[in-house]
């Protein structure tokens, strides 16, 4: 039996438990940094598979690692499990988690034979909060030679980049007054927000079509007869590359500053989470992954311009660690992520199939690297060169 066939067989052996994990996560969705039960479910499964579990990694209560084997090569598999507020697993993180767990479990025999280490990283708060960036800053990826995961999407298998993204909070400060008796004595913080949003709407005409600006007003007043003294908005800005992000952020900030200037309000900015960097799939790893797709009746469908408008903190990892983050299609599904419809498909037969295929594909890619002396040595050397002294 070849090692590729062996990893496939192990995924099949664990199929019921992997699908069970996926469906259990889906049934009890937990949002960013609150994934206590989700992390516990993953830890329980990996412990049953003989992995050494470390909880609370990087000072994050819902982060964990599961480790097996040893050697100069460490294969990192990222498991996401946070859900979306109000939608649940509308981004299919239940599939991601179970697929990475399945790949890690499937690699045990290969790790014993080829002398490498498997490190499953339970990474919280991908939807908001940048859990992977926090784990990266705090050393959780220091020993990882390469990092891998697969993300579910509609219909097609893709392997392009993702956008860089920054998110921030804007607070306008005004002065209250009676809206009927003496409105001229007030400084209207809500008006400042309106002016800023109009300016942003006009700015969109002057930005490239693949740039994105989105946001909402979180608070803008208390009562109709009081001039609002405070308004708070949450916004995000996305660009195809990290290099373009700061320039667009400055232009958007200027729109908020215009609202403050026009009304006499004050304005303050607070970055609400780490920036998400554009994804950089490693050429050899993604090519190897794609080479295994035909065995499952799949093929990579090129993205227009090679990029999706989504963003992920896996991009941050890919700037430091050779990484892949392909999209595995839920065959026959046309619903897009972040919808109730996609959430329903995340535990459908198509979702379960994508989970099992992703686990096998990631495991095969890892075996291909571990069993290739030339490429293995090259990636180990790259890791040694970047490792902190």
pLDDT per residue as tens digits for the range 55-76: 999 999 999 999 999 999 999 9
The conformational region for residue 129 under phi > 0 = left, psi -120 to 50 = alpha, else beta, is: left
Other C-beta atoms lying within 10 Å of the C-beta of residue 75: 30
For 164-218, write each residue's pLDDT tens digit: 999 999 999 999 999 999 999 999 999 999 999 999 999 999 999 999 999 999 9
For 68-116, write each residue's pLDDT tens digit: 999 999 999 999 999 999 999 999 999 999 999 999 999 999 999 999 9
**Element at 318 (helix H, strand E):** helix 314-318
Residues 129 and 140 placed together within one structural domain of the fold: yes
Residues 156 and 210 placed together within one structural domain of the fold: no
Question: Above 50 in pLDDT, residue 389?
Answer: no
Residues 140 and 130 placed together within one structural domain of the fold: yes
Residues 7 and 130 placed together within one structural domain of the fold: yes
Q: Which pTM value belongs to this model?
A: 0.92
Residues 104 and 26 placed together within one structural domain of the fold: yes
Residues 14 and 101 placed together within one structural domain of the fold: yes
Residues 353 and 250 placed together within one structural domain of the fold: no
Residues 133 and 232 placed together within one structural domain of the fold: no
Residues 28 and 135 placed together within one structural domain of the fold: yes
Residues 313 and 363 placed together within one structural domain of the fold: yes
Question: Above 80 in pLDDT, residue 322?
Answer: yes
What average pLDDT does the structure give for the chain?
96
Domain boundary among 211, 242, 271: 271
For 127-177, write each residue's pLDDT tens digit: 999 999 999 999 999 999 999 999 999 988 988 899 999 999 999 999 999
Question: Above 80 in pLDDT, residue 1?
Answer: no
Boundaries of domain holding 18? 3-162+277-386
Residues 150 and 186 placed together within one structural domain of the fold: no
The conformational region for residue 257 under phi > 0 = left, psi -120 to 50 = alpha, else beta, is: alpha
Give pLDDT, residue 290: 96
E-strand spans in the chain? 52-55, 64-69, 74-80, 117-123, 146-148, 151-154, 164-173, 212-219, 230-239, 266-271, 323-324, 327-330
The whole-number average pLDDT for the span 337-344 is: 97
Secondary structure class of 53 (helix, strand, coil): strand
The whole-number average pLDDT for the span 221-250 is: 96
The total domain count for the chain is: 2
The token pair that represents 174 in the structure block = 């005004």
Q: Predicted confidence band at 3 (pLDDT cuts at 50, 70, 90)?
A: low
Domain boundary among 243, 271, 299: 271
């Amino acid at each position: 039996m070849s090692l590729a066939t062996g990893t496939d067989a192990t995924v099949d052996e664990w199929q019921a438990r992997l699908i069970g994990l996926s469906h259990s996560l889906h049934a009890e969705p937990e949002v960013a940094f609150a994934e206590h039960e989700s992390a516990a479910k993953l830890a329980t499964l990996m412990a049953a598979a003989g992995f050494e579990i470390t909880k609370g990694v990087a000072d994050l209560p819902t982060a964990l690692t599961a480790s097996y084997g040893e050697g100069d090569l460490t294969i990192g598999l990222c498991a996401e499990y946070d859900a979306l507020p109000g939608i649940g697993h509308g981004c299919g993180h239940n599939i991601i988690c179970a697929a990475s767990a399945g790949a890690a479990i499937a690699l045990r025999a290969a790790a014993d034979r080829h002398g490498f280490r498997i490190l499953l990283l339970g990474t919280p708060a991908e939807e908001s909060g940048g859990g992977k960036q926090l784990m990266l800053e705090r050393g959780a990826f220091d020993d990882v030679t390469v990092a891998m995961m697969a993300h579910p999407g509609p219909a097609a298998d893709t392997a392009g980049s993702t956008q860089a993204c920054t998110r921030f909070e804007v607070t306008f400060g005004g002065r209250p007054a009676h809206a009927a008796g003496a409105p001229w004595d007030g400084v209207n913080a809500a008006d400042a927000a309106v002016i800023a949003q109009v300016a942003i709407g006009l700015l969109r005409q002057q930005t490239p079509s693949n740039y994105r600006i989105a946001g909402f007003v979180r608070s803008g007043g208390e009562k109709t007869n009081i001039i609002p003294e405070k308004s708070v908005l949450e916004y995000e800005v996305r660009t195809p590359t990290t290099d373009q992000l700061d320039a667009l952020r400055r232009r958007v900030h200027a729109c908020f500053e215009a609202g403050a200037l026009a009304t006499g309000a004050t304005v303050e900015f607070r970055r609400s989470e780490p920036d998400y960097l554009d994804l950089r799939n490693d050429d050899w790893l993604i090519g190897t992954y794609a080479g295994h797709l035909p065995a499952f009746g799949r093929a990579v469908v090129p993205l227009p311009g090679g990029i999706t408008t989504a963003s992920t903190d896996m991009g941050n990892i890919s700037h430091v660690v050779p990484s892949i983050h392909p999209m595995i299609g839920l065959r026959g599904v046309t619903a897009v992520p972040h919808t109730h419809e996609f959430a329903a498909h995340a535990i459908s037969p198509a979702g379960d199939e994508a989970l099992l295929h992703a686990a096998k594909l990631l495991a095969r890619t890892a075996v291909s690297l571990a069993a290739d002396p030339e490429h293995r040595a090259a990636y180990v050397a790259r890791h040694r060169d970047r490792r902190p002294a």
